[in-house]
Copies of this chain bind each other. A is one copy, B any other.
Amino acid sequence: MSAINKSAQQFLATIVSNKRVGQYHQIILQVGEIVAACKPGNFIAIAVGGDNSRMILRRAFAISRTSHTASFGGTLELIVAPHGSGSKWLCQQQEGVELDVVTPLGTAFGIPTEPVNALLVGGGYGSAPLFGLAEVLKSRGCRVDMLLGASTGQKIYAPMEGKRAVNSLRIYTEDGSVGERGRVTDPMWAMIEDGSVDVIYSCGPMAMLRAISDLVNDSDVVHQCAVEEAMACGIGICMTCVLPVKNENGSTSMLRSCIDGPVMDGSTVQWDLVGQIPEASQ
């Protein structure tokens, strides 16, 4: 056996609940003991469309939070945006439906060994894994500030319980319908400059992750970002999900965002090369 995805399993998970929250669906899955192996940042890959589906590939979703309840045992929470045919199908599935899933997959957010000041930045449903992360960071004594952004208020996912786990939460929407009008990156420079941030954890659209990377570029702030590339397999066997990442020696590797990610060191991702091919060879 190899070390890749060493806790991952394929199994049937039952939907415990499926609720609309703004423009998203909060879906809770009963997964049993494997919940213990699911870390903030990991994702789940779900087969969609049922037995006669013309959709042959799984869909990837970040694990938002994990819990252990008396009635259902281990459960995972997902926040799903009804985007195309697969995610829409998922959002339509009712309580009691069994889903074919593979989880936990991919890298997790690195948790500091000492208490630090952490800034969590989420765009759209990208906030999902940050609440689970916030709980872990708090339990390690970190200060946790959070910035959430989206085009409009309906696309902000910020549950009550989640809010309790953070020291501060600021919301930005482009249309100003909720929180402040603007983008999550607007207040960040000031926060970095006054030294109140040690680590940034981010999850959201690639453009947002890139903007954050550019901002922290000349600072000492560590930036762990959860990337989102189109994935055919989710387990490292197809090579569709690659991102250009700078190696120690200055060369570039095309790394698989499903197994070398989704959580990556933002300072090593070569954002300007995404969608292109590095010229030299590895």
Using CB atoms and an 8 Å cutoff, list the residues of chain A in contact with chain B.
48-55, 85, 89
Neighbouring B residues of A51 by C-beta, 8 Å: 85, 89
Q: Give 14 CB contacts A-B under 8 Å.
A: A48-B52, A49-B52, A50-B50, A50-B52, A51-B85, A51-B89, A52-B53, A52-B54, A52-B55, A52-B85, A52-B89, A53-B53, A53-B54, A54-B54
A55 to B52, CA, bound (A): 7
Q: Using A50-B50, A50-B52 as known contacts, list a sample of 4 further A-B pairs with CB atoms less than 8 Å apart, ordered by residue number in A.
A: A49-B52, A51-B85, A51-B89, A54-B54
Q: How many copies does the complex hold?
A: 2
How distant is the Cα of A55 from the Cα of B50 in the complex, in angstroms? 12
Q: What is the predominant secondary structure among interface residues of chain A facing chain B?
A: loop
CA distance A52 to B51 in the complex (A): 10
Instruction: Give Cα A16–Cα B65 distance, bound, in whole angstroms.
Output: 41
Tell me how far the C-beta of A136 lies from the nearest C-beta in chain B, rounded to whole angstroms: 37
Alpha-carbon distance A85/B54, docked complex (angstroms): 13
Chain B residues, Cβ within 8 Å of A85: 51-52
CA distance A103 to B50 in the complex (A): 27
Residues on B with C-beta less than 8 A from A54 are 52-54
Give the chain B neighbours of A55 by CB distance below 8 A.
52
User: How close is A60's CB to chain B, nearest CB, in angstroms?
Assistant: 18
Q: Report which residue of A50, A52, A54, A55 has the largest number of chain B beta carbons within 10 angstroms of its beta carbon.
A: A52
Closest 7 CB pairs of A and B: A54-B54, A49-B52, A52-B53, A52-B54, A52-B85, A52-B55, A52-B89
Chain B: CB-nearest residue to A85: B52
Best-surrounded residue of A49, A55, A85, A89 (most CB of chain B within 10 A)? A49
**How far apart sit A171 and B219, CA to CA, in the bound complex (Å)?**
88
Which residue of chain B is the closest to A56 with respect to CB atoms? B54
**B-chain residues with CB within 8 Å of residue A89 when the two chains form the complex:** 51-52
A7 to chain B, nearest CB (A): 31
Give the docked Cα–Cα distance between A52 and B55 (Å): 7
CB A236 to nearest CB in B, in angstroms, measures 26
**Chain B, Cβ-Cβ closest to A51:** B85
Q: Report the minimum CB–CB distance from A84 to chain B (whole Å).
A: 10
